[in-house]
Structure 1
Amino acid sequence: MKREALKLRNYLSNYSKDNIQLNFLTGKNYWHQTIFCIESFIQHYGNNFSVNIYSDGTINDEIESLFKNYCKEIEIVSNEKIETKLQRIIPIKDFPYLNQVRAWHPFFRRLIDIHINPGWNLHLDSDMLFFKYPSALIEAFERKQAIFMFEQLDDSYFVDSVVVLKEKFDIDTIEKVNGGIIAYNGDQVNYIDLEEKLKVILQNYKTAIPAEVEQTLMSHILFNQYAKPLSKDEYNIFYGKDINSGLKTVSHYIFKAKKPYFSQEWKRVLENL
């Protein structure tokens, strides 16, 4: 997959605010997956959009050059640019917990670095592929509607149940949030409230892992912005080795589905070249 990613070349053209923007948190272990995700999006949408790449802490000059060789119009968002925004919007003296978790794990860079930007921002995980025109994403972009990928396991990946979080700690959340695709308006995030909710979570769920904390916070933001789930039939998550993604708009490969993703699914993108 990496060898083939190195061979791919494409371009983005005529970008304006009227066209969608894709944001990825990625790095040295995922750059090739990100490229294949972008390539699959181009195949079914076209080239008239933009891409921002945010580092998970591992992007160096070599990795940056891999993205630029694939598509020179991709923007690599510098750490300096991000740090300037963080100091202005969530300075460490006023938001110690948000800054603490950002340093704790890259998961929180997805929540903070991408969505601290003003306006409607869409982030995608790299381990997904597009197989049809993404009409629901485009409609959400045009309406600036907050959206999320629908978790298809029985339980949401939170620090606790939706009921307990509300009744015990007054933390409102939406059930079944998967962070593979998330979009909402950065201007409408109440960071004072988010800092307080995070403080409560960290003090009461000391064994929670980063993904659980991040998903809980993300769900709280989405609740406050009346977010809607994407269709689980069209924006599907595969968890096991047996998959059938032929007619799906998006296939997101996690857990045991990584095996068919790495062995066969990415090759379907090459078939459309």
Structure 2
Amino acid sequence: MSLPGKLLFQLWHRPYGYTRDLIKDGGPQQRRLTEKGRQEMEAAAYRLPAPPSGHGKPVELHFLTGRKYWYQTAFCLWSFAAASNRTLRPVLFDDGSLSEPYIEPLARLFPALRIVTAAESLARLDEFLPESRYPSLRGRRLAYPHLKKLLDLHVGQRGYRLQMDSDLLFFRSPDCLLDWHDNPEYPLRAEDIITSYGYPLGMLAELSGFPKVPERVNAGLLGLRSEDFDWDKMEYWCRELLARKGPSYYQEQALLAMLLAGRECIVPAPSDYVILPKAPEALHCKAVMHHYVAESRRWYYQHNWRRFTAQ
């Protein structure tokens, strides 16, 4: 970046961005309350009681998690178990920071829990996705941890996997997800509020080889079959995106949009599987699920996790 560009960033874009985000968060006082609620949520995760006993076929849920997210994972799983009335068999992929103090409370809540260590994931990557052949994917994974949700969870694996981000809460039975889990036939993906890929749709369509790519793909809730990943194509796409437009925070979703191009997908109703909930729904929680991104974290940390400590 040139010197004038650096000055413009420091003197205009950075303070403007900070002020914009502060306003979205409700101002300084609300931001402090949100952080206080986050700390209380983490402390409460250690004291969560065992979830209600479930029945039927165990539901296998996959997460990438670690030190910063384990307590969110705990509440997500607990709320899913309570809402679904099913036994859970969580599979947690260590992002490199999931140590015993955070594994123990999760294992207490979910005895069928399985941990895939960072070392196991790296060994699988070295075997099936060697850096010498896939330098763009392997390099981007280190610089952009979001990519671990695709690589670590699917490289060298088989079968369909229901995976989700940790900052989700469930309030009613997720029937769409349960039906998919029990009998998967097509990929499943959440519907975002807007298309957020960081790259032009025309370029993604060109790279994918299809007339268009699906819009509004959100990576926070996915049902994918590991064998459907063409890693040679993924490497090519990753390399071309970086070469043509550079990195993007949303590159994971851009890669998913190309992967899903031309495929029939199950898309849970956005009115029930809500991303970025806003008032009054953000407090009333009438939907099946909330995904708390951006400024909606205010409702998540200050209020909604507490619903599951009062039961």
User: Considering the TM-score relative to the shorter chain, is it more than 0.5?
Assistant: yes
Output the CA distance in 2 between the equivalents of 1:12 and 1:43: 6
What is the deviation of 1:22?
0.5
Percent identity between matched residues is 22
| Paired residues for 1:7-22 under 5 Å | 7-10=47-50, 19-22=58-61
Name 2:35's counterpart in structure 1: none
* Count of matched residue pairs: 267
Name 1:152's counterpart in structure 2: 193
Q: Secondary structure at the match of 1:68?
A: helix
Q: Secondary structure at the match of 2:250?
A: helix
Q: Secondary structure at the match of 2:189?
A: strand
TM-score by length of 2: 0.78
Name 2:268's counterpart in structure 1: 230
| Paired residues for 1:61-100 under 5 Å | 61-100=100-139
Which residue type is aligned with residue 70 of structure 1? L
The answer to whether the 8 Å contact 1:241/1:259 transfers is no
Q: Secondary structure at the match of 2:261?
A: helix
Q: Secondary structure at the match of 2:122?
A: helix
Q: Aligned-pair RMSD on alpha carbons?
A: 2.4
Name 1:256's counterpart in structure 2: 295
Name 1:130's counterpart in structure 2: 170
In our comparison, the structure showing a higher alpha carbon Rg is: 2
Task: Return the match for 2:82 from 39, 43, 47.
Answer: 43
Output the CA distance in 1 between the equivalents of 2:253 and 2:224: 14
Which residue type is aligned with residue 255 of structure 1? A
TM-score by length of 1: 0.89
1:45-94 Cα distance to aligned partner (Å, 9 max, x none): 23423101112222122222232233332111122321232122211111
Instruction: Return the structure number with greater helix share.
Output: 2
Unaligned stretches of 5+ in structure 2? 1-40
Output the CA distance in 1 between the equivalents of 2:153 and 2:61: 10
What is the deviation of 1:15?
9.7
Q: Secondary structure at the match of 1:91?
A: coil
Task: Return the match for 2:224 from 184, 187, 208.
Answer: 184
1:211-241 Cα distance to aligned partner (Å, 9 max, x none): 3211111222222543232210111112556
Cα 1:239/1:269, change in 2 over 3 Å: same
Q: Secondary structure at the match of 2:132?
A: coil
Name 2:252's counterpart in structure 1: 214
**Which runs of 4 or more aligned residues in structure 1 lie more than 4 Å from their structure 2 counterparts after TM superposition?**
11-16, 167-172, 239-242
